[in-house]
Amino acid sequence: MARLVMKFGGTSVADIERIRNVARHVKREIGAGHEVAVVVSAMSGKTNELVAWCRDGAPLHDAREYDAVVSSGEQVTAGLLAIVLEGMGVNARSWQGWQLPILTSNAHGTARILDINGGELVKRFKERKEVAVIAGFQGMHKETGRITTLGRGGSDTSAVAVAAAIQAERCDIYTDVDGVYTTDPRVVPRAQRLPKIAYEEMLELASLGAKVMQVRSVELGMVHNVRIFVRSSFEKPEDIDPHGTPPGTLICGEEEIVEQQVVSGIAFSKDEAQISVRSVQDKPGVAAAIFGPLADANINVDMIVQNVSSDGATTDLTFTVPASDYQRATDVLAKSRGEIGYERLDRATDIAKISVIGIGMRSHAGVAAQAFKALAEKGINIRAITTSEIKFSLLIDAIYTELAVRTLHSLYDLDK
């Protein structure tokens, strides 16, 4: 017998028929003798609709009321799933965030979970064999008692937090993909599903836009050592052996990964823009004059390259920002031109960032060098490079994105 959290996203609970399908997945695990807490999202599209209603009501609205409105989608699906489970003869009850309670910070709209009381759930597993159906995405502010939400995609984080609170053996994320892949299968048809991936690698992949899970949920999993299993909700519930190993990807600590590859995955993003600040003084304080105002404007700067000046007097500074912040970034720099003192700004928007990720890089030298050579052979120019312990990223012209990703995918033996 195991204790499990099962999380179902919006597409998996999009209508009553699919909720019935979810209930059959739950019933299968209960039938196998497991203790189950389910965490659900709102029906797909529902949260967007609720957000739009708030904006329509008043463009500038009270974030506390926004949370009161947008948290309601999950209330509906939690109640419905409990109804369907009961109808199938499975003992179940729904829980809203404030009922458990799931206590959070007061950052309405992006609240952080502070504490969950899992005691009552565990008691009910034991005494009544009751399934807990928990509304994801929502909590309650510790002091004011008001409803909070955790940011878009937040029910992943609810699920992982509940798993930590009840010391579940695993947190199963049922979703519309059957796992985490070495790269996007639409770009590389030979992309492989990874049987396991380390938290740190998943964090890199997730923050680079492999949109499988909310980044914060992976962080939380890492901190509390919650084993997270990404699997498909569209498999027939009855075809799955609850004691077997279904297809999916386990996100876990690296000690659990025996056959570690040097490279685990390749992520890419075309949503980048590059800005070069030309001929700034090569003296203390210039980088602060450039990046201070960008930080104040909440613009996330990513790759930074500064050249050594040839004349000892001036140099160039190049960096990337999200494409959506590009216009704002150039406006901010234009405004600070007096303090920075540059000659001109050069910019490129048709660029892509390719990132190669693997904890094996810690113990292998020359991993990035192989990539430089392989891309050079394809005539692909590299505009900027950054490296960290388990990742390196390359900036290239966007038209070469697919070619570069495929080339690197083969280079690191991920095609198998």
| Contacts with ligand ASP, residue ranges (CB under 6 A) | 9-10, 41-42, 47, 73, 136-137, 152-156
Q: Least CB distance from residue 41 to Mg ion, whole Å?
A: 6
DSSP 196-244: EEEHHHHHHHHHTT-TTS-HHHHHHHHHHT--EEEEES-S-GGGS-TTS
Q: Least CB distance from residue 137 to Mg ion, whole Å?
A: 9
By beta-carbon proximity to Mg ion, the closer residue of 11 and 330 is 11
Q: What angle do CA 286, 292, 295 make, to 5 degrees?
A: 145
How many Cβ atoms sit within 10 Å of the Cβ of residue 364? Answer: 10
By beta-carbon proximity to ligand ASP, the closer residue of 12 and 314 is 12
Question: What is the Cα 126 distance to its own chain's centre?
Answer: 33
Per CB under 5 A, which region of 5-13, 128-136, 344-352, 381-389 contacts Mg ion? 5-13
Q: Assess 9 for contact with Mg ion (CB under 5 A).
A: yes
Q: Select from Mg ion, ligand ASP, none the partner in contact with residue 136, using the beta carbon and a kind-dependent cut-off of 5 to 8 Å.
A: ligand ASP
By beta-carbon proximity to Mg ion, the closer residue of 153 and 265 is 153
Q: Assess 153 for contact with Mg ion (CB under 5 A).
A: yes
For residue 290, what are its two tokens? 């450039």
For residue 6, what are its two tokens? 């099962």
Is the link from the previous residue into 101 a cis peptide, with omega within 30 of 0?
Answer: yes
User: Could you give the 3-state DSSP secondary structure of residue 374?
Assistant: helix
Q: Select from Mg ion, ligand ASP, none the partner in contact with residue 358, using the beta carbon and a kind-dependent cut-off of 5 to 8 Å.
A: none
Q: Select from ligand ASP, Mg ion, none the partner in contact with residue 264, using the beta carbon and a kind-dependent cut-off of 5 to 8 Å.
A: none
> What residues form DSSP beta bridges with 277?
317, 345
By beta-carbon proximity to ligand ASP, the closer residue of 180 and 351 is 180
Q: Select from ligand ASP, Mg ion, none the partner in contact with residue 274, using the beta carbon and a kind-dependent cut-off of 5 to 8 Å.
A: none
Q: Select from Mg ion, ligand ASP, none the partner in contact with residue 154, using the beta carbon and a kind-dependent cut-off of 5 to 8 Å.
A: ligand ASP
Q: Select from Mg ion, ligand ASP, none the partner in contact with residue 47, using the beta carbon and a kind-dependent cut-off of 5 to 8 Å.
A: ligand ASP
Q: Is 106 exposed, middle or buried (0-12, 13-18, 19+ CB in 10 A)?
A: middle
Strands 170-175 vs 3-8: parallel, antiparallel or unpaired: parallel
Q: Assess 154 for contact with Mg ion (CB under 5 A).
A: no
Per CB under 5 A, which region of 8-16, 137-145, 356-364, 388-396 contacts Mg ion? 8-16
Size of the site for Mg ion (CB under 5 A): 2
Q: Least CB distance from residue 132 to ligand ASP, whole Å?
A: 18
Give, for 188, the enclosing helix (H) or strand (E): none
Dist. CA 395–CA 410, nearest whole Å = 19
Name the residues that contact Mg ion, by CB under 5 A: 9, 153
